[in-house]
C-alpha cells in the first residue's frame, strides 16, 4: 500500500495552543483596559445614566421627564431621549443609582460584545474590532458615562446581519429610533431602496413600542421636540465634535460655522439618498449608519464607537488603511489626539465607504455587462 503524503488537517481556530494563548492574551488586555478605565472614571461615571435614572424617578412620581428650562447640552443628568426609552431604564433604576449604574455598565458591555460577535465579517476581523474597540477611548468613555452608543452599535450590527430579512431589519431600525432619534435616518435609506416590507415592519414595531409607552404614561413627544430645539444650537460647545463646532473651535466665525453645520445636514441627507440608489446594499446601509451620527448638530466623542461597524466591513474587504480610523483614538493616544480628529475620522469613513462601495458596484456590473454582450454576439 502506498502511504499518503498529504499533511493532516489543521485544527480549527481556538483549538491549537497558540490560539488559546492569543485568546487569553486578548481577553486580558480587554479586561485590563476596561477595568482600569472604569476605576479611574471619577466624576464622569454614570453621567448619562443619571439622566435615565432621573427620568425614571420623575415618571414614577408622575412628574415631567423633560426639563424644559435647560438651554444647553453637555450637562450630566439631563434627559433628552425619546419617551419610550425610559421603559428600558426603569428596571435598572429600581435598584438605586449606584447598583443600577453598575448593572447598566454591564448591559452596555454586553451590547458591545454581542454586537461585535454577530458582525457579518470573518472571525479574524471580529477579533480585530473587539480589540481596537476595547482599547479605544470612544467605547471606554461611552461606557463610563453610560451612553446609548453600545445599544445602537448592537442594533446596527443586527440590522446589518439581517439586511435581507425585512422584519428583523425594520424592527432594528424602529428600536434604534426609540432609543435615540438619529437612527430614524435609516428609514430614509429604506424608502429610497423601496424596501416596503422593512419600512412596514419598522412602522409596526415603532407604533407598538410607542403605544405601550403611552399606556404607561410616557408620551411627551412634544416635550422632547421642545427640548431638542433649545439644544440644537451647540456650535459653540468645545467638546462637540460636529463639523460646525469643530470649525468654530479652530477659530471660524460663529455664524459661518453655524451655516456650515446647516449645509452639512442637507449634504448628509442627500448623500444617504444618492448612495441608497447607487451603491450596493451593504455599502449604502453603512453610509446611512455613519450619516445617522453626522447629521446631528451634536456629535460626542463616544459616537465614534459606531465607526467600528464600517471599519469592520472595510477591513474585511482588504482595505487595511481603515484600521487607522479607530487607532487614532486609542486611549493611550488621548493626550495627543485633538478634537478635530473625530470629524476627520467620521468623514474619512464616509468617503471610504462611498469609494469602495462604488468600486464594488462597478465591478459587479462588469461581468453582467460582459455576459450580455457575449449572449448577443452571433454564433460563429
How large a percentage of the chain has pLDDT more than 70? Answer: 91
Residues 335 and 332: their CA atoms lie apart, in Å, by 8
> CA 90, CA 104: separation in Å to the nearest integer?
11
The Cα 302–Cα 283 span in angstroms is: 23
Which of the four pLDDT bands, split at 50, 70 and 90, describes residue 2? very low
Section 205-218 average pLDDT? 98
Cα three-residue angle 120-311-343, rounded to 5 degrees: 145
Q: Give strand ranges (E) for 191-237.
A: none
Question: Could you tell me the end-to-end alpha-carbon distance of the chain, in angstroms, rounded to an integer?
Answer: 51
Provide the whole-model pTM.
0.91
b/e per residue, 217-253, with b = 16+ CB within 10 A?
ebebeebbeebbeebebbbebeebbbbbbbbbbeebe
Taking only Cα atoms into account, the Rg of the chain, rounded to an integer number of angstroms, comes to: 23
Question: pLDDT of 149-203, one tens digit each?
Answer: 999 999 999 999 999 999 999 999 999 999 999 999 999 999 999 999 999 999 9
Whether residue 365 is predicted with pLDDT greater than 90 in this model: the reply is no
User: Is the pLDDT reported for residue 241 higher than 90?
Assistant: yes
Average pLDDT score over the chain? 90
Give 64's pLDDT tier (boundaries 50, 70, 90). very high
What are the residue ranges of helices labelled H in 9-122? 17-39, 47-60, 86-93, 97-117
More confident residue, 8 or 232: 232
| pLDDT bracket for residue 327 (50, 70, 90) | very high
Are 308 and 132 within 8 A, CB to CB? yes
Of 170, 165, 188, 167, give the one whose Cα is nearest residue 276: 188
d(CA 205, CA 145): 29
| Contact indicator for 74, 237 with CB cutoff of 8 Å | yes
At residue 232, the pLDDT reads 64
* pLDDT of 89: 98
Average pLDDT over residues 139-146: 95
Amino acid at each position: 500500500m502506498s502511504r499518503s503524503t498529504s499533511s493532516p488537517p489543521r485544527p480549527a481556530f481556538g483549538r491549537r495552543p497558540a490560539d488559546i494563548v492569543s485568546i487569553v492574551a486578548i481577553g486580558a488586555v480587554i479586561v485590563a483596559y476596561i477595568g482600569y478605565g472604569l476605576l479611574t472614571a471619577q466624576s464622569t461615571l454614570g453621567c448619562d445614566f443619571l439622566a435615565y435614572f432621573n427620568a425614571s424617578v420623575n415618571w414614577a412620581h408622575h412628574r415631567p421627564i423633560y426639563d424644559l428650562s435647560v438651554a444647553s447640552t453637555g450637562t450630566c443628568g439631563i434627559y433628552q431621549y425619546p419617551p419610550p426609552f425610559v421603559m428600558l431604564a426603569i428596571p435598572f433604576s429600581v435598584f438605586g443609582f449606584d447598583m443600577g449604574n453598575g448593572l447598566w455598565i454591564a448591559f452596555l458591555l454586553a451590547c458591545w460584545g454581542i454586537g461585535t460577535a454577530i458582525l457579518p465579517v470573518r472571525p479574524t476581523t471580529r477579533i480585530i474590532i473587539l480589540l481596537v474597540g476595547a482599547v479605544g477611548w470612544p467605547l471606554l468613555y461611552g461606557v463610563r458615562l453610560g451612553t446609548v452608543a453600545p445599544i445602537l452599535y448592537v442594533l446596527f450590527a443586527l440590522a446589518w446581519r439581517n439586511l435581507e430579512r425585512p422584519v428583523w431589519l425594520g424592527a432594528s431600525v424602529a428600536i434604534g429610533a426609540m432609543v435615540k432619534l438619529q437612527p430614524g435616518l435609516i428609514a430614509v435609506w429604506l424608502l429610497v431602496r423601496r424596501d416596503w416590507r422593512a419600512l412596514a415592519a419598522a412602522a409596526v414595531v415603532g407604533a407598538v413600542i410607542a403605544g405601550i409607552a403611552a399606556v404607561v404614561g410616557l408620551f411627551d413627544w412634544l416635550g422632547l421636540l421642545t427640548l431638542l430645539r433649545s439644544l440644537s444650537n451647540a456650535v459653540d460647545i468645545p467638546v462637540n465634535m460636529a463639523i460646525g463646532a469643530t470649525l468654530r473651535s479652530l477659530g471660524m466665525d460663529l455664524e459661518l460655522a453655524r451655516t456650515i453645520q446647516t449645509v452639512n445636514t442637507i449634504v448628509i441627507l442627500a448623500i444617504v439618498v444618492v448612495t441608497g440608489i447607487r451603491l450596493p446594499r451593504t455599502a449604502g446601509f453603512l453610509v446611512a449608519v455613519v450619516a445617522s451620527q453626522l447629521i446631528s448638530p451634536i456629535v460626542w466623542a463616544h459616537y465614534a464607537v459606531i465607526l467600528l461597524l464600517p471599519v469592520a466591513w472595510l477591513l474585511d474587504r482588504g482595505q487595511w488603511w481603515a484600521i487607522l480610523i479607530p487607532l487614532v483614538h486609542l486611549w493611550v493616544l488621548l493626550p495627543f489626539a485633538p478634537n478635530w480628529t473625530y470629524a476627520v475620522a467620521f468623514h474619512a469613513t464616509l468617503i471610504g465607504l462611498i469609494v469602495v462601495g462604488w468600486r464594488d458596484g462597478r465591478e459587479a456590473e462588469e461581468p453582467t455587462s460582459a455576459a450580455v454582450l457575449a449572449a448577443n454576439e452571433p454564433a460563429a
